[in-house]
Chains A and B, each alone.
Chain A
Amino acid sequence: MEMPPPDAQIVARKSAVLARLAQVLPADSILSDIAETRAYECDALTAYRCPPMLVVLPHTTQQVSEVLHICHTEGVPVVPRGSGTSLAGGALPTADCVVLGVAKMNAVLETDYDNRFIRVQSGRTNLSVTGAVEDAGFFYAPDPSSQLACAIAGNIAMNSGGAHCLKYGVTTNNLMGVTLVMMDGQIVEIGGAHLDAPGLDLLGVICGSEGQLGVVTEATLRILHKPEGARPVLIGFDSNEVAGACVSDIIKSGVLPVAIEFMDRPCIRACEAFAKAGYPSCEALLIIEVEGSREEIADQLARITAIAHHHNPVEVREAQTEDEAARIWLGRKSAFGAMGQINDYMCLDGTIPVSELPHVLRRIGELSREFGLEVANVFHAGDGNMHPLILFDANKPGDLETCEAFGAEILKLCVEVGGCLTGEHGVGVEKRDLMRHQYTADDLEAQLKVKDVFDPKWLLNPAKVFPLHVTRSRRAPQ
């Protein structure tokens, strides 16, 4: 994976840029020593690292504006950063950039239960948004696995999803407004506590733009009242095909669970060894969660298990108590930790039409044998969002490259069957060079034009999302 070489002229001006930033920021907001900036050399895609030239951690929107204005006039690239949990390298720095972290901006600015929204600074973590409203019975719906650590800023940048978005939607469906600082320092308000824009849906294109159009410093988020209760059921099958057909039948029946999670045998085995959740030994396992009152839950689970019984399940386990519910989720929630204990792993998140599930799983198995690397599958089956985990050994020369090549083949397969490269993690640097498999040159050009409008000098997170050769002329110093 290639990153553009640092601009030596910018690096040579480090102290001048630092001096200007020091005029607008308090001392605790600037890191310039390599011993400190090294902490920002990567995000959760740890295979790639590069300490930035400088790190700034502003306290206010006004400071963000001043930082961006300075970088704009100095021609210094800026890499925005939330909590640094991106699995796609969205916050990977270059040696000539300023990393702009929003971690110090984590306040709740307004909670309004009557109008069902919360306004927060964007450095606030996903889970602590719910934390701020749960005493009143409310929650913020998008729930990425990293929700304990990930920031709303990063959620907006990547349009994050989670296990429960089958019912509640992803970030873009729950985002009502933002305060956005443009690369030239201009502060703009988009949307708010009312719904839908009178003009073009700028909020819609900012969400998921991977920090390339502006820096979001505040967000208005929709909050919902928690359901009366929720309960999962676990269903085991002796083939992936049958489990896939069961998912499709459940959806067709009119029941809309809040989550349908799918694990294949390698994943079940690893999770069982790690978490001892008591999962059955089978080829495929579904965890389906429904919400409502006790009676509503019972009614929905009865419908779901009736459908499952048509598919000859090897096991159907309904949680009767909180403890049983927790045990059903335990293995699934431990999946990444379980894999991490076995080996290094790469987590992909291509999405496919649900009907292609059996074919794609079969083909991934074949590719696994061809590349000689094991793969386990755990994913959000209701919306086709796969999470193949490819195991490799980072200490073994060539293994990372083999793993990346294998991963690329899986993602190309996702696109071939009518899906996409990434369902919720984002493109970042990881999938940047695969974009041409999903989009034509004209399709990509249309997206580049959007960045041209928001960031004409191409200074915001410039080496991400698009293949470097496609953006080279735009990124050239102007």
Chain B
Amino acid sequence: MIPTSERELTDAIASATGPLALIGGGTRGVSCAGEPLQLKGLSGVSLYDPGALTMVAQAGTPLSEITAMLAAENQQLAFEPSDLRRLLDTSGEPTVGGAFASLSAGPRRIQAGAARDFLLGVRFVDGLGTVVSNGGRVMKNVTGYDLVKLLAGSYGTLGALSEVSFKVLPAPECIGTLVWEGLDPARALSVFTGALGAPFDVTGAARLPEQGEQPARTLVRVEGFEKSVKYRLNELGKRFVDLPAPRVICTAQSQDQLWPQVRDVQPFQGQVGNVWRTSVKPSDMLQVMALSQFQHVVDWGGGLIWTLAPDGHDLRADLRKIAGHSTLVRASQGDLTSLGRFAPEPAPLAVLSAGLRAKFDPRGILNAGVMG
């Protein structure tokens, strides 16, 4: 089924007699049993107000269409939605609804936030075919419960998004990055801590692993007007005089080759193995990396660690003593079944989540089991 209006989406869900598998662009590798319900037919931007930093779009609108419209006004989606097609070997066109439903969050998570922090309003169709609206298109809104946050990252298990309103931000004139080569994890963490604990509005702090001849790279990013970027890079550099001098890269956003490597986990593209995404307290990064000889891509100043592990390996078992959670982003169907894509929630939270799903989708037909 490919509904082309909210009305058709409502009919499709209300008249469903069995499980439905909601599909945005189908690029994030999340699938489940059920009749495919494609959301790409709900497409188009209905409002874009650059002076108010807001956009309203149907959920199936391609992200590429949105980023092109924003770029024409020198604006951007500040949560840096990832493009995981090459990592996951998927094809198709990522949609804006998919970016929000999967809680996309790139390197700027530590400064600007995740997709959830930019979603202002939703319209969605619940499991009984009822249209629900929540939030709106203004940046500050505490009118009633924040179902917007609940829908962000719910992977279609509470409802099918039909429309999203979101906040956008100015695109930076210049991206500046300090690159240190060959720092071990402990020294990389000290760079992250020093940079993020300084008054220079750092928007990225990441580490790419050693790749062939290329040594591991520790990256710190600042963005804004060129003069300001150069000033802050210089000030940041002074804070790490005990380290070898970093390479300094200043570039326009369209020319940036570095940060998409972090955002889209480029080092693991085309490599064999399971890909895990672990969120921890930044300083716990060292423990996570010390547990194994696996390759890691570190983002969020140490708070996010992508790990390439052998098939069948249970990374969660290794990390059970560390507060946080690991998601199995790429694996065989067998491993996804035995290990589970998402970390199990603590029991009392699982009860609440199950209770919410039972209220919004009492028949249990929307992306059933996708989140465990």
Binding site for B on A (CB under 8 A): 112-116, 137, 158-159, 161, 165-166, 169-170, 172-173, 182, 186, 188-190, 192-205, 207-209, 225-228, 247-249, 251-256, 292-293, 295-296, 299-300, 351-355, 380, 383-385, 418-427, 431, 435, 438-440, 442-444, 446-447, 449-454, 465-466
- B residues in contact with A182, CB < 8 Å: 348
Other A-B pairs, 15, CB within 8 Å; known A188-B349, A189-B346, A194-B303: A112-B281, A186-B348, A195-B114, A199-B353, A208-B145, A254-B225, A293-B231, A380-B140, A422-B141, A426-B142, A427-B143, A427-B144, A446-B130, A450-B356, A452-B359
* Residue from A165, A201, A293, A420 within 8 A of B143 (CB atoms): A420
Among A115, A255, A293, A384, the residue within 8 A (CB) of B140 is A384
Shortest Cβ distance from residue A211 to the other chain B in the assembled complex, whole angstroms: 12
* B 147-169 to A, binary, CB cutoff 8 A, 1 in contact else 0: 11110111001100000000001
Please determine whether A202 and B349 come into contact, CB atoms closer than 8 angstroms.
yes
Indicate which residue in A226, A354, A423, A447 contacts B142 across the interface (CB closer than 8 Å): A423
**Cβ contacts B314-342/A at 8 Å (1 or 0 each):** 00000000011101000000000000001
Let me know if A202 and B324 touch, CB within 8 A. Answer: no
Chain A CB within 8 A of B181 CB = no
- List residues of B whose CB falls within 8 A of some A CB: 49-54, 73-74, 103, 105, 109-110, 113-114, 116-117, 126, 130-134, 136-150, 152-154, 157-158, 169-171, 173, 193, 196-199, 201, 225, 227-228, 231, 235, 279-284, 300, 303-304, 323-325, 327, 342-343, 345-346, 348-350, 352-353, 355-356, 359-360, 371-372
Give the complex CA separation of A161 and B350 in angstroms. Answer: 30
Q: Which of A201, A255, A419, A422 is the one whose CB lies under 8 Å from B153?
A: A201
Which residues of chain A have C-beta atoms less than 8 A from B228's C-beta? 292-293, 295-296, 299
* Chain A positions within 8 Å of B280 at CB level: 194
How far apart are B37's CB and chain A's nearest CB, in angstroms?
20
**What are 24 A-B contacts defined by CB distance under 8 Å?**
A161-B140, A173-B113, A182-B348, A189-B346, A194-B323, A198-B345, A199-B372, A200-B153, A200-B353, A200-B371, A201-B149, A205-B150, A225-B198, A251-B51, A252-B73, A254-B171, A292-B201, A353-B52, A353-B54, A354-B49, A354-B51, A420-B143, A425-B142, A466-B144
Contacts of B343 in A (CB 8 A): 198
Q: How far is the CB of B251 from chain A (nearest CB, A)?
A: 17
Who on chain A is nearest to B135 by CB? Answer: A420
Chain A residues within 8 Å of B49, by CB? 353-355
| A435, B145: Cβ atoms closer than 8 Å | no
* Contact partners of A248 in chain B: CB under 8 A: 51-52
- The residues of A that contact B54 with a CB separation of less than 8 Å are 353
CB-CB under 8 A from A435, the residues of chain B are 143-144
